[in-house]
A and B are shown apart, each in its own frame.
Chain A
Amino acid sequence: MNGVWEWFAWLNQAHGINLPVFYDSYDRQRFFAGLLTTLELSALSVVASVVIGLIGAWLLGTSSIIARRLVHGYVHAFRNTPPLIQLSFLYFAVGNLLPRLEGVGGSSRPLLDGFAWAVITLSLFGGSFNVEIFRSGIEAVPASTIEAAESLGFGRWRLYRHVVLPLALRICLPALSNNLVNLVKTSTLAYAIGVPELLYVSAQVWSDTMNVREMMNLLLVAYVGIVGVLSFGLRRLETALRVPGLGTVGGRI
């Protein structure tokens, strides 16, 4: 590993391409901590948004009008407002209303830190799209297939578990992948409330070292890499689940 770090030091001396995040141990430590934060932020939001999407789509299928109205309200509100303002609203305004935790020596800190609010906002934002995606997937399962299962004696729960959900998942996977990839890209917003994720630490590094160009390029490579790995994994899942003769519904941006 040391050889690699030394090569970057040489790159700086010989060619003026300055990437201290590889050869300087302090910058390296904060850069990779930022990378880890971005990965954690993305992973938590992706999982939570899928759970929210499933619950929302399920509630839309229930007979309770109140539940359906609430889900509709949530979906419309989060889909049609800028995520950055959602984040600021939740972090600054709502966070300000929550009780504070008393620390040692009379100091106090907020109940939820920036990282937690970023996860909450991203999950709600991504989840609002997932609700629609899952719902349209469920709706695309043909009524005749459901009837066939009913006439074989499947009850409501087993019908969902073995027929509707497996088909709906396959149908909506492309749209879901698209949305999850977007969610990872949106995680950069956490920068705005000072969560030390990849963009934030990179900005610290470039303002300390004045190597904007190098850091920018590194950052782009890092994000394209993260997004690439996620979309590769999702595409593999799509291929693994693909069955002949089953179409998909179109993806959104």
Chain B
Amino acid sequence: MNALRVSGRFGVGMMGLLLASVLFGEVQAADGSASLLATMWKWAPLIGQGFLLNILISVVAMTLGTVAGLGLGLGQMSPIWPLRHAAQIVTQFFRNAPWLVLLFYCILLLPYEMRLGGLVVAMPAWIKATVGLALPVMGNVSEIVRGGVQALPPAQWDSAEALAFNRRQTLWMVILPQAIKPMLPPWMNLYAVLIMATPLVSVVGVEEAMTLTRFALSAENRSELLLPMYLALLIAFFAYCYPIARWTARLERRFAVKL
């Protein structure tokens, strides 16, 4: 309830800022040019479609990264030491490499198409970019999984062993079900980081919201459009991310009480 009120006030503030910047732009604009609001309205559908691509990329990258990261995270706790060390090194590498560099890596070094058996799968830029974003997600999910599992009291392993569960059963039936809840808030945090990283793909030319905004700005070529257009883009991301952040914070508080 309180969160709603706060975000409501915040939304009003942001919209006010946007309107002020538009008005400011109108005053600056040369006589006879089209109104800023009308110009922005004209571009809104296209940029909105771009924003949907941002969301699509984030969802796909999150799914890929989570599945791969879960495997990698379990690998980090494997009793087989070469596997454990390899998983730890891979995890640290993808956690510590900058997202933008990994993105370039995938864009420039992945092939244009891949052969899966007899099937030829085309790899358009946005797919490669998604893979590029999934890699750091994988590294971070791996750490979240390890942290979540290791935060459980060791007595859980012992008591499961005393009940004659084997290691695999213990992991899937005793440990993971308990570890999932505390893993949820950092995982959602990671999603927020990811969605805010999606504009990076504009640097490699994928036509998402940021690319299209820059495209619109250069097509219009009016400097008074800069402020309101970028502000509108920021607000769009804010409107998407802020509720997720509040929700995450609430879950975090709820789970923290139980400790």
Contact = CB atoms under 8 A, between A and B. Distances in A.
A199 B200 CA distance: 13
A85 B101 contact: no
Nearest to A231: B96
Contact of B241 (A80, A89, A186): A80
Contacts of A80: 192, 196, 237-238, 241-242, 245
Contacts of B196: 80-83
Interface residues of A, number: 42
A82 B6 CA distance: 21
B108 interface: yes
Contacts of A188: 98-101
Nearest to B14: A77
Contacts of A92: 226, 230
A68 interface: no
Contact of B98 (A76, A212, A223): A223
Given A80-B242, A216-B104, A192 B226 contact: no
- Looking at chain B's contact residues, is the secondary structure mostly helix, strand, loop, or mixed? helix
Given A73-B13, A92-B230, A94-B227, A223 B96 contact: yes
A227 to B, nearest CB: 4
Contacts of B102: 220
Given A84-B202, A185-B96, A192-B203, A96 B226 contact: yes
Contact of A96 (B189, B214, B223): B223
B234 A89 contact: yes
A169 to B, nearest CB: 21
Contact of B140 (A73, A191, A231, A253): A253
Interface in B122-157: 140, 144
Contacts of B186: 250, 252-253
Contacts, number: 118
Nearest to B198: A82
B96 A84 contact: no
B199 A85 contact: yes
B112 interface: no
Contact of A89 (B109, B144, B192, B230): B230
B98 A81 contact: no
Interface string B167-210: 00000000000000000001001101101111110110000001
Given A82-B237, A84-B199, A93 B231 contact: yes
Interface in A202-228: 203, 212-213, 216, 219-220, 223-224, 227-228
28 contacts: A76-B10, A77-B238, A81-B196, A82-B210, A82-B234, A82-B237, A84-B199, A85-B199, A89-B230, A89-B233, A92-B226, A93-B229, A93-B230, A96-B227, A185-B96, A187-B98, A188-B99, A188-B101, A189-B200, A191-B203, A219-B101, A220-B93, A220-B101, A224-B97, A228-B96, A252-B186, A252-B189, A253-B186
Closest 4 CB pairs of A and B: A93-B226, A89-B230, A185-B98, A82-B196
Interface of B: 6, 10, 13-14, 93, 96-102, 104-105, 108-109, 140, 144, 186, 189-190, 192-193, 195-200, 202-203, 210, 214, 223, 226-227, 229-231, 233-234, 237-238, 241-242, 245
